[in-house]
Amino acid sequence: MSAPAIPAAVRRSLRETFGIRQLREGQEAVIARVLRGQDTLAIMPTGAGKSLCYQLPALHLEGATVVVSPLIALMKDQAEKLEEAGVAAEQMNSAQPRREQGESMQRIAEARSDVIFATPERLGDAEFIATLKAQRVALLVVDEAHCISQWGHDFRPAFLEIAAALEALGNPPVLALTATAGTEVIDDILKQLGRPRMQVISTSIYRPNLRLQVAQVTSEDEKFDRLLQALRKAEGCGIVYCATVKACTELHERLEAAGESVTLYHGRLPAAQRHANQDAFMAGDKRVMVATNAFGMGIDKPDIRFVLHYQMPGSPEAYYQEAGRAGRDGQAADCGLLFYRKDRQVQQFFLARRYPSLDDLAEVTAVLERSREPLTTQQVVERLPALGRTRAAVALKLLRDGGVVAADRSHAWRRDTRQRADKRTLSRLAADYEQKAERDRESLERMVFYAQTGFCRWRVLLECFGEPLPFEERCGVCDNCVRPPAPSPEAVQASAPKPKPVQPASPFKPGDSVKVPRYGDGLVAQVAGEEVTVVFPDSAKRSFLSAYLSPA
């Protein structure tokens, strides 16, 4: 099947405006759909050119393209590059001085902008929506769309309001973009956007230039020593990720004291310092960026030669998103994880605080009932500081969807007395988040499995995303393929002859009904250790690691 054709005028813009002669895998199919006004979710790995999928069509659509972007630094970078290419672009965010915001709003009102970048929070601004509505919005783009999903690894509550903004703007076509999205995330994105029939175009996450590696450590001192060895051995520049601001700050200080060329990035740094540190890394003045996951989304630095995780992220999706920032130029790059079992507790702590509980919903409802005036989200947080802004925002939306609270035009919340707020009602609303919490715990266990496995690491990641293997059994580039791990004494002992047959490591047995992400239900045909062969209704047989199966 040949790739969908795009008009000659669009190809001419590709060459003349962007200096590109050939589109990459998946780009042409996505661009063709955008030009036809068809809703699309594009899942393309880091470095695959997702931005071009809206930048090129924007020059040929009748009306403005509005891009919802989660990071101010990301939209600033993209807006400046479009301006350099001669494309009129505006950005609306809190980092702009008030005067610049006014000037941008004036140009938008006069329909002088081809592309308009905005944070998701800006879509809650009634004046901004009214200004856009007065013009024709030809396309709304949700960049880093996994942030819209409550199943995603980088959930951001403000993204939940995009569906309401779409309706206010007359429901223009939507293009959602992300590098990673499993089945649950895809389903949730479509649900949250209110576009259940949106077509999904996905290209493989497999990037053979990335050399996946894991080092097992047994103490903090050993972990630091192994990191220092890796940095001194590594060529070029790279990123070291930490899970917490505290670990990030302490590691930066230790590496600087050890004489490494390092800088620092996390969300609690003043904006000016964050930007200065990012500029120093991007320009090559600093070789190593020590950062939390606040750094890296959409960063256009193709020559990153290594991404090392000093602490384990909470899911394979988060790991791939961050590790994938290495080697965007297609050249070989190292993606390493220093696995210390105690780091798992950090992620368990995050999971425990991620979603609102039944008690949280009851407290928010009680605060609104006691208040004589509607309260903003910030005022709710001030009255319930232990809740935190993210959980408060999610709780308020959940209560609104359940009819327990309502919001006015200024986004202040009040108790909606038409719906009862008894324990039964609130329990029903909280139940969905209990399922999400369980799914997150499963994702964390899959991350632990990735860190400890002796299987090909690329195979483990591909099966996590439900993708077929582009190789037989081994990728030939990860550490387990280049240097297969020696069997442990326990494994040798387990393989010795026994009076009774050794039971398979998998919890499944032939004949069991199982569910496989992206493939659906099937029957177990064969079990060999942790490898399970499943037969599907179409008679197709596929093998998976048991960690990715669940009872049907």
Instruction: Convert the pLDDT of each residue in 107-135 to its tens digit.
Output: 988 888 889 999 888 888 888 999 998 88
Look at residues 532, 538, 530 and name the one whose alpha carbon lies nearest to residue 514. 532
- C-alpha distances in Å from residue 74, one per residue of 18, 68, 363: 19, 11, 36
Q: How much of the chain exceeds pLDDT 70, in percent?
A: 93
Q: Among 5-14, 325-334, 525-534, where is mean pLDDT lowest?
A: 525-534
- 511 neighbors 524 (Cβ within 8 angstroms): yes
Q: List, by residue range, all CATH 3.40.50.300 domains of the chain.
A: 8-202, 210-349
Residue 206 is classified by DSSP as -
Tokens of 96: 């702009």
Q: Which long-range contacts (CB under 8 A, 24 or more apart) does 323-327 make?
A: 323/210, 323/212, 324/45, 324/46, 324/47, 324/179, 324/205, 324/207, 324/210, 325/46, 325/239, 325/296, 325/299, 325/301, 326/210, 326/238, 326/239, 327/47, 327/207, 327/209, 327/210
CATH topology of domain 354-439: Arc Repressor Mutant, subunit A (1.10.10)
- Quick one: pLDDT at residue 232? 95
Strand 413-415 versus strand 513-516 pairing type: unpaired
CATH topology of domain 498-551: SH3 type barrels. (2.30.30)
Per-residue confidence band for 224, with pLDDT thresholds at 50, 70 and 90:
very high
Look at residues 63, 65, 49 and name the one whose alpha carbon lies nearest to residue 14. 49
Mean pLDDT computed over 165-184: 89
Place of tokens 């999904």: 200
- Quick one: pLDDT at residue 331? 94
- 127 neighbors 172 (Cβ within 8 angstroms): no
Give how far the C-alpha of residue 126 lies from the chain's centroid of Cα atoms, to the nearest Å: 28
- Quick one: pLDDT at residue 367? 93
- Quick one: pLDDT at residue 435? 77
CATH number belonging to the domain at 210-349, selected among 3.40.50.300, 3.20.20.70, 3.50.50.60, 3.30.830.10 = 3.40.50.300
CATH class for the region spanning 8-202: alpha beta
Mean pLDDT computed over 202-224: 94
Amino acid at 72: I
Q: Does 165 score more than 50 pLDDT?
A: yes
Look at residues 310, 315, 384 and name the one whose alpha carbon lies nearest to residue 340. 310
Q: Does 356 score more than 50 pLDDT?
A: yes
- Quick one: pLDDT at residue 551? 85
Q: In which element (H, E) is residue 415 found? A: strand 413-415
Please tell me the distance from the alpha carbon of residue 405 to that of residue 32, in angstroms, as a whole number: 42
- C-alpha distances in Å from residue 99, one per residue of 95, 108, 131: 12, 14, 17
Q: Which ranges constitute the DSSP H helices of 414-456?
A: 423-452
Of 202 and 338, more confident: 338
Q: Does 474 score more than 80 pLDDT?
A: yes
Q: Does 195 score more than 60 pLDDT?
A: yes
Please tell me the distance from the alpha carbon of residue 404 to that of residue 397, in angstroms, as a whole number: 10
Per-residue confidence band for 499, with pLDDT thresholds at 50, 70 and 90:
very low
- Quick one: pLDDT at residue 475? 93
Mean pLDDT computed over 75-89: 84
Per-residue confidence band for 490, with pLDDT thresholds at 50, 70 and 90:
very low
- 292 neighbors 241 (Cβ within 8 angstroms): yes
Of 186 and 335, more confident: 335
Strand 413-415 versus strand 405-407 pairing type: antiparallel
- How wide is the angle at C-alpha 295 spanned by C-alphas 460 and 101, nearest 5°? 135
Q: List, by residue range, all CATH 1.10.10.10 domains of the chain.
A: 354-439
For 368-420, write each residue's pLDDT tens digit: 999 989 998 889 999 999 888 888 888 888 898 888 998 876 678 999 888 88
Compute, in degrees rounded to 10, the torsion defined by CA atoms 242, 243, 248, 250.
Answer: -110
